[in-house]
Amino acid sequence: MSLLSYLVRRLALAIVVLIGLSILLFLIARVLPGDPARIALGPRAPEYAIENLRKQMNLDKPLYTQYYLWISNLLKGDLGLSLLSRRPVQEDIREYFPATFEEVLLAAIILSIAGIGLGVLAAKYTNTWLDGIVRIFAYLGIVTPAFIWAIILLLIFGYWVPIFPIQGRISPDILLPPRITGMLTLDSLLTGNWVAFWDALKHLILPSLALAMAPMAQAARIMRSSICSDLGADHVSAMTAYGVPQNRILTKYLSRLSLIPTISIMSLDIVALFASAFVVELVFNFPGLSRYGMHAILNKDLNAISGVLLIFGALFTLITIFIDLIVAYLDPRIRLQRRGM
Amino acid sequence: MAELLLNIKDLMVGYKVYGGLLKVLNGITIKVNKGERIGIVGETGSGKTTTVKTILRILPRTARIFGGEILFQNRDVLKMSRNELSVLRGQGISMIFQDPTASLNPVFTVGSIISDVIRYSRTLSSSNKSSQIKEAAIDAFRLASLPDADRLLANYPFQLSGGMRQRVCIAMALATARDLLIADEPTTNLDVTIQDQVLRLIKELVDKKKTSFILITHSLGVASEMTDRIYVMYAGTIIEQANTQDLFENPYHPYTHALLSCIPKLSGGGIASGIPGRMPDYLNPPQGCRFSPRCPRALPICEKEKPPLMEVEPGHEVACFLFATKQGVQQ
Amino acid sequence: MKTLNLNATWNSIKRSIYKFSRNKISVVGFFMVLFIVIVAIFAPYLAPYPKHAGAFVDYDNASKPPSLAYPFGTDAIGRDILSRVMFAFRGALIMGLGVIAMIVPIGVLVGLIAGYYRGSWIDTVIMRITDIFITLPALLLALAVAALLRPTLFNSMMAVAFAWWPAYARIAYSMASSVQNEVFVRAAEISGASKTHIIFKEILPNCLVPIFTKMPLDIGWVILVGATLSFVGLGEQPPTPALGTMVSDGAKYLPHQWWVSVFPALAIVFIILAFNLLGDGIKDMLTTEEV
């Protein structure tokens, strides 16, 4: 089974799952809150207005018809109108998504490099003070939720040592780069606007760091424990016996072997970053999709909620597949071994 | 004429475990001359692997060396630094392990692994160009009679059969062994049909390269074919040592007798007998001779004192009070 | 896969406790959890100002920094933070223990059934459903569901339970399907044991180890999700104190009246740390190989 057929199988499965997800979200959105029309218009709206809105929202039709209508609109790109912004949801998503995306991307980069690096370092210097520090940090990092990291970083870098800005995406007096991807850092890089780039990056650092801390600790911990438990393995003794220096064994052989479980866990953590972003963006007043989603949730803006969750669902599925591909590349046993029963 | 290559003297090694210390090696003495082929024979758990792992210093972290010394080419292995050990392993001594599947890192191609092994086994002066290394790798594979060496380099270990994996390990060991090759039960994990092939291959290569050789096995039969001298090991002690032929024709120690009678004979009929009893508990081993609880001919002194290795004939030593003459105390 | 020694004699239990106690960190975790439980249960007797956990206002003592009288300081309307934190432990524990108590039996049962009928439509349907659930992170799903319901502790517990149960179903499923082909299951089937017997007496005991190691850790994570929910205003409503709500309320007063946010935040970290340490200890205890 080659990498390509593996990919195709995963995509097919993903589509099935996404359809199921859409059904689930639809049911939640329609069933739970009671009467969406009444909620939309508020408690003091007159009955006829509610009835009108119900007809407009197709709420008088049977459930499966509603679903069909909703899905066909969806596939055309129409996610309905947002109650809060009075705009089509898809426009809101287009506006806010790149912000969250670059925030999470930066967080993912930080946590991968730092997490894996710290893990290897701790494994190399096991039982020394360095290892001890890394392990304590890893433990505390894991048990501290993202929003608390956000507050810690806010306190440290916003007030005590004010280096980084603590809200928004970019300072008001900077010239915005033209919108190519919507990601301020990328767009300013692409157009050579260094001032904007640095400013946007500075605004990104705190939210991304807050998101990255806990998964970074988790990655370091798994990497370290995986390497340490492999240290006694036969293939390590064998390579040592052949005269290969310990350093090389650690950085090449053990690392790749230990990356496999680490990256698998990291995929779950990276996906969870989007979820943690919901709260982190609130703390930093960062205008991203997660904050938009958070407001939508708190105000029961159904279309927006479904839109945001669906987008995230599709995104997470893609990310998971992408990381699975990386794991399959690293571990030849997955892609080349025939699956026996 | 006989130049002493490896001199293990009174080696005592243990493992730290949950309840205390497993005192496995109880004073091992083994001497290997240059060009000699010796065998270490014993049951599973008798400490054979521990002994050779100590030579290469690849013991697990829980191991403790608390006595004795190992001299290789007159240098003290137990006191060597990391760098010296690297050189020792890369150029002096090499080992073929029991389980070829576990010895090869599963996520790298065999070509990648052997290239690294070769690269680090060379002295600093020789060139490390990747083309030369690849040549050396192909050469080593051919020597180990692996077909289609060129294509084989790109395979992963799980794509090869057990016999081929062991031959890859043999190729790697040969690429790095100048002076001493150790083979730890190299065929135990292979199919019976392949065992003979691999053993013959090892014998051929040892003869060709004229390396000194230590074979570890639980089978006296295999040892008889591949060695000049045999050390019989029981529960971390050398209980008898002799030329291969001498050992078979004239065994002394009761344990050696029992081992020999375990070998099914084609002639003479009768069922091969086992040895009643079990290996001692290493946490609390017997104070005297470790075989005494199972020995059919044990003397009262055997339980109290550890019998030293005594020469009973030229070149033939036994650790047993039954054969103690002037030095020992007979009761 | 290291298996649980099912020889549940008194000796074996004693040995497990001994093993657990040798790992100092897990013992610390155990006492931390014990501490949390005691504080939660006896909050009305232990808290210095139990009335502050309800509707209470004292502007004279508002926004006071930590002192002997108010070890954690007071908030903007004069309530003692320490007492409120202690009472907030109650909601946290109810959330953690309640959710886990609900989802473990249900999730495991579903997973066992799916695993036992592996390959049939039952399996496919159940597993596809759990696939859908794990597409979204639990926090998101719980947020969405909780937001659509009225904000109460019970509703947020339901929301978290709704998002969390698939994890246990999947563990039970993978253990059940891997064990299903073992000899002892086949033997039981051949000798005519009923399906219920097989599922509960043969398969279930072998799945217990990963489930028991996951449970204490999950109590911590569920409490975290609960804190996140209350941070955004879902969950328990004021005046009942909830840790997340206290953090977000106090965020307005950073950095000058830092104690209003920081102490509840530390309390959250403390709780999660406690359950993590305990969970790690239990994991070590259940899966250590005998030498």
User: 3-class secondary structure for chain C?
Assistant: CCCCCCCCCHHHHHHHHHHHHHCHHHHHHHHHHHHHHHHHHCHHHHCCCHHHHCCCCCHHHCCCCCCCCCCCCECCCCCEHHHHHHHHHHHHHHHHHHHHHHHHHHHHHHHHHHHHCCCCHHHHHHHHHHHHHHHCCHHHHHHHHHHHCCCCHHHHHHHHHHHHHHHHHHHHHHHHHHHCCCHHHHHHHHCCCCHHHHHHHHHHHHHHHHHHHHHHHHHHHHHHHHHHHHHCCCCCCCCCCCHHHHHHHHHCCCCCCCHHHHHHHHHHHHHHHHHHHHHHHHHHHHHCCCC
User: Residue B215: pLDDT above 50?
Assistant: yes
Kindly list the residues from chain B whose CB atom is less than 8 angstroms away from the CB atom of residue A248.
Answer: 116, 120
CATH of the domain at A126: 1.10.3720
Strands B63-72 and B180-184: unpaired
Does B259 lie at the interface with A, CB-CB under 8 angstroms?
A: no
Does B201 lie at the interface with A, CB-CB under 8 angstroms?
A: no
Q: Give the confidence band of A10 by pLDDT, cuts at 50, 70, 90.
A: confident
User: Residue A80: pLDDT above 80?
Assistant: no
Query: What pLDDT, on a 0 to 100 scale, did the predictor assign at position B87?
Result: 81
Q: Could you give the CA distance from residue B246 to residue B316 in angstroms, rounded to a whole number?
A: 8
Kindly list the residues from chain B whose CB atom is less than 8 angstroms away from the CB atom of residue A240.
Answer: 56, 58, 89
User: Residue A339: pLDDT above 50?
Assistant: no
Does C258 lie at the interface with A, CB-CB under 8 angstroms?
A: yes
Query: What pLDDT, on a 0 to 100 scale, did the predictor assign at position B264?
Result: 62
> Rounded to the nearest 10 degrees, what angle do helices A302-330 and A89-124 cross at?
40
Query: What pLDDT, on a 0 to 100 scale, did the predictor assign at position A153?
Result: 87
> In this complex, do A244 and B90 lie within 8 Å of one another by their Cβ atoms?
yes
Q: Which residues of chain A approach chain B closer than 8 Å at the C-beta?
A: 231-235, 237-246, 248, 252-253, 256-257, 260, 330-333, 336-337
Place of tokens 């002037």: B326
Q: Could you give the CA distance from residue C257 to residue C266 in angstroms, rounded to a whole number?
A: 15
Query: What pLDDT, on a 0 to 100 scale, did the predictor assign at position C36?
Result: 92
For a pLDDT cut of 90, what percent of chain B falls above it? 9
Exposure string for C251-281, b = 16+ CB within 10 A, e = fewer: beebeebbbbbbbbbbbbbbbbbbbbbbbbb
Size of interface A-B (CB pairs under 8 A): 86
Write out pLDDT tens, residues C66-117. Answer: 888 788 888 888 888 888 899 899 989 999 999 999 999 999 888 888 877 7
Taking residues C10-18, report their average pLDDT.
Answer: 69
Write out pLDDT tens, residues C204-260. Answer: 777 777 888 888 889 988 998 999 888 888 888 877 888 888 888 887 777 778 888
Q: Distance, in angstroms, between C133 CA and closest chain B CA? A: 32
> In this complex, do A242 and B97 lie within 8 Å of one another by their Cβ atoms?
no
Query: What pLDDT, on a 0 to 100 scale, did the predictor assign at position C208?
Result: 79
Q: Distance, in angstroms, between A281 CA and closest chain C CA? A: 12
**Nearest residue of chain B to residue A328 (CA atoms):** B107
> Which residue has better confidence, B1 or C89?
C89
Taking residues B235-261, report their average pLDDT.
Answer: 88
Q: Could you give the CA distance from residue B245 to residue B315 in angstroms, rounded to a whole number?
A: 12
**Nearest CB to A332 within list B53, B91, B156:** B156
**Nearest residue of chain A to residue B120 (CA atoms):** A244
- Rounded mean pLDDT of chain A? 80
CA angle A235, A239, A240 (to 5 degrees): 115
> In this complex, do B107 and A333 lie within 8 Å of one another by their Cβ atoms?
yes
Kindly list the residues from chain A whose CB atom is less than 8 angstroms away from the CB atom of residue B72.
Answer: none
User: Residue B330: pLDDT above 50?
Assistant: no
Q: Give the confidence band of A38 by pLDDT, cuts at 50, 70, 90.
A: low
**Nearest CB to A242 within list B90, B99, B158:** B90
Is the residue at A11 inside a domain? Answer: no
User: Residue B90: pLDDT above 50?
Assistant: yes
Is the residue at A329 inside a domain? Answer: no
Q: What is the DSSP letter of A193?
A: -
Which of B18, B22, B62, B283 to mutate: most C Cβ within 10 Å? B18
Kindly list the residues from chain A whose CB atom is less than 8 angstroms away from the CB atom of residue B158.
Answer: 332-333, 336-337
The residues, ordered by sequence, that sit 6+ positions from B145 with a Cβ below 8 Å of its Cβ are B167, B201
Check: CB of residue A83 under 8 Å from CB of residue A95.
Answer: no
Write out pLDDT tens, residues B130-144. Answer: 777 888 888 888 888
Q: Which residues of chain B approach chain C closer than 8 Å at the C-beta?
A: 17-19
Is the residue at A163 inside a domain? Answer: yes
Neighbours of chain B (3+ CB pairs under 8 A): A, C
> In this complex, do A238 and B82 lie within 8 Å of one another by their Cβ atoms?
no
**Nearest CB to C140 within list A18, A24, A309:** A309
Taking residues B189-213, report their average pLDDT.
Answer: 85
Does C291 lie at the interface with B, CB-CB under 8 angstroms?
A: yes
Q: Could you give the CA distance from residue A270 to residue A286 in angstroms, rounded to a whole number?
A: 19
Write out pLDDT tens, residues A251-264. Answer: 888 888 888 888 88
The CB-based long-range contact list for B79-83 (8 Å cut-off, 24+ gap) reads B82/A246
User: Residue A85: pLDDT above 90?
Assistant: no
Query: What pLDDT, on a 0 to 100 scale, did the predictor assign at position C99?
Result: 93
Kindly list the residues from chain B whose CB atom is less than 8 angstroms away from the CB atom of residue C290.
Answer: 18
Does C190 lie at the interface with B, CB-CB under 8 angstroms?
A: no
Q: Distance, in angstroms, between B322 CA and closest chain C CA? A: 36
Q: Distance, in angstroms, between B63 CA and closest chain C CA? A: 14
Neighbours of chain A (3+ CB pairs under 8 A): B, C
Q: Distance, in angstroms, between A263 CA and closest chain C CA? A: 17
Q: Could you give the CA distance from residue A197 to residue A6 in angstroms, rounded to a whole number?
A: 39
Is the residue at A162 inside a domain? Answer: yes
Query: What pLDDT, on a 0 to 100 scale, did the predictor assign at position A340?
Result: 35
Check: CB of residue A256 under 8 Å from CB of residue A230.
Answer: no
Query: What pLDDT, on a 0 to 100 scale, did the predictor assign at position A341?
Result: 27
> In this complex, do A276 and C135 lie within 8 Å of one another by their Cβ atoms?
no
Extract the runs of DSSP E, i.e. beta strands, from chain B. 4-17, 20-33, 37-41, 63-72, 75-76, 93-96, 180-184, 212-217, 229-234, 237-243, 310-313, 316-318
Closest CA to C222 of C34, C91, C96, C84: C96
Kindly list the residues from chain C whose CB atom is less than 8 angstroms away from the CB atom of residue B62.
Answer: none
User: Residue A336: pLDDT above 70?
Assistant: no
What's the half-sphere exposure (Cβ side, CA atoms, 13 Å) at B270?
A: 10
Q: How many domains does chain A have?
A: 1
> Which residue has better confidence, A33 or B51?
B51
Kindly list the residues from chain A whose CB atom is less than 8 angstroms away from the CB atom of residue B113.
Answer: 239
> Which residue has better confidence, C168 or C251?
C168
Lowest model confidence (mean pLDDT) among A87-91, C8-12, C61-65: C8-12
Amino acid at B232: V
**Nearest residue of chain C to residue A314 (CA atoms):** C135
Q: Distance, in angstroms, between A117 CA and closest chain C CA? A: 24
User: Residue C288: pLDDT above 80?
Assistant: no
Kindly list the residues from chain C whose CB atom is less than 8 angstroms away from the CB atom of residue A33.
Answer: 148-149
**Nearest CB to B158 within list A243, A246, A337:** A337
Is the residue at A305 inside a domain? Answer: no
The reported pTM is 0.77
Q: Distance, in angstroms, between B314 CA and closest chain A CA? A: 35
**Nearest CB to A32 within list C145, C258, C273:** C145
Query: What pLDDT, on a 0 to 100 scale, did the predictor assign at position A36?
Result: 65
> In this complex, do A28 and C148 lie within 8 Å of one another by their Cβ atoms?
yes
Is the residue at A237 inside a domain? Answer: yes
DSSP β-bridge partners for residue B242 = B230
SS3 B161: coil
Query: What pLDDT, on a 0 to 100 scale, did the predictor assign at position B125?
Result: 43
Percentages helix, strand, coil for chain A (3-state, rounded to 5) are: 75, 0, 25
Query: What pLDDT, on a 0 to 100 scale, did the predictor assign at position B126?
Result: 55
Is the residue at A35 inside a domain? Answer: no
**Nearest residue of chain C to residue B22 (CA atoms):** C291
Write out pLDDT tens, residues B267-304. Answer: 555 555 567 777 888 888 888 888 888 888 888 888 88
Using left for φ > 0, alpha for ψ between -120 and 50, and beta otherwise, residue C73 falls in left
**Nearest residue of chain C to residue B17 (CA atoms):** C291
Neighbours of chain C (3+ CB pairs under 8 A): A, B
First-residue to last-residue Cα distance in chain A: 15
Does C28 lie at the interface with A, CB-CB under 8 angstroms?
A: no
Q: Give the confidence band of B331 by pLDDT, cuts at 50, 70, 90.
A: very low
Lowest model confidence (mean pLDDT) among A151-160, A211-220, C19-28: C19-28
CA dihedral for A317, A323, A329, A334, sign (positive or negative) = negative
User: Residue B328: pLDDT above 50?
Assistant: no
Taking residues A208-219, report their average pLDDT.
Answer: 91
Closest CA to C167 of C241, C125, C231, C108: C108
Domain of A132?
91-287
Q: Can the peptide bond before residue C166 be classed as cis, meaning omega within 30 degrees of 0?
A: no
Does B102 lie at the interface with A, CB-CB under 8 angstroms?
A: yes
Check: CB of residue C79 under 8 Å from CB of residue C56.
Answer: yes
Write out pLDDT tens, residues A300-330. Answer: 777 788 888 888 888 888 888 888 788 877 7
Is the residue at A154 inside a domain? Answer: yes
Which of A148, A157, A324 to mutate: most C Cβ within 10 Å? A148
